[in-house]
Amino acid sequence: MTENYSSEQETERTMPISDDDLMCRFQKGDESGFRRLLERYQDRILNYIYRMVSDRHLAEDLTQEVFVRVYVHAGRYHPGSSFAPWLYRIASNMAINELRRRKRWRFVTINNNPSESDRNVVVDIKDEDSVDPEQVVQQKEASEEVSEALKKIPDKYRAPLILRELEGYDYEEISQILDIPRGTVKSRLNRGRALLETVLKRARSVNAVAF
């Protein structure tokens, strides 16, 4: 028994245990499998959901709920399939449900002045003095801009964009996660990118007038 254990430890040091293996361990009652997966994915899921709902606290609550569901519904995971798309599917459903619910109770925004936050970009370049600070500032501003623009495009375009650009999933995986055909993934990404560009262009022209 001890021998078995140490050889397992040895393997782990040389080769990380796959998500699927960890999930199978958890299904067999080993909670450490779940803890390891939580550790592996909590930040990624938080960022994905945050980009979908644009609210940090809400994103934390939803991410927490995603992992509660993984724990509770572990039995629904099919061993041998890929864990990440399954996890992202739960996360997508959580985020999309929340957005759908939010729409139902949506406020009519009276003071529509989102450009205010664009102008108050806080730039912190302390840790990055090895690279050209000018470039860092520009990159940060551009990323802030794109982050604001992302909030303004419809969710159905935002979800595949984030899964593609931030999470690096291919079309087949995105199709599985969002449960839409691959062709739809392709057209939504194309349309999403075009929309994002339009929003960015508009924001820039508004800012140019404002300054």
Partner 1 sequence: MNCHQINENLSAFIDNELSSDDTNIVKAHLIRCSSCRQQRDKMEEIGRNIRYMAPLTTPADFEFRVFAGIRKHEARRTNRFFWRWQTILLPAACLIVGILLGVTSNSVFNFPESSLLTSSESTVESDSLVAVSDQEILYDYHLGRFARRAIIPVAVDVIPESPDVFDSLSFDEQSGFDSGISPPPQYVLDNIPMRVSYERTIY
Which part of the chain contacts partner 1 (CB under 8 A), choosing from 18-26, 77-85, 152-160, 202-210? 152-160
Residue from 7, 190, 205, 207 that binds partner 1 (CB under 8 A)?
190
Number of residues that bind partner 1 (CB under 8 A): 78
The 10 Å Cβ neighbour count of residue 6 is 10
Which part of the chain contacts partner 1 (CB under 8 A), choosing from 13-21, 22-30, 70-78, 125-133? 70-78
Under 8 Å between Cβ of 60 and 46? yes
Which part of the chain contacts partner 1 (CB under 8 A), choosing from 9-17, 21-29, 125-133, 193-201? 193-201
List, in order, residues 6 or more apart from 136 with CB less than 8 Å away: 123, 125, 128
CA 109, distance to chain mean position in Å, is: 26
- Taking the least distance from each CB to partner 1, the nearer of 47 and 82 is 47
Residues 30-69 close enough to bind partner 1 by CB under 8 A: 35, 38-39, 42-43, 46-47, 50-51, 54-65, 67-69
Distances (CA, A) of 93 to 9, 43, 105, 159: 36, 18, 18, 11
Question: Which one-letter amino acid corresponds to residue 9?
Answer: Q
Residues 2-31 close enough to bind partner 1 by CB under 8 A: none
Scanning the structure block, which residue is given the tokens 């985020």?
95
Residues 85-124 close enough to bind partner 1 by CB under 8 A: 89-90, 93-94, 96-98, 100-111, 114
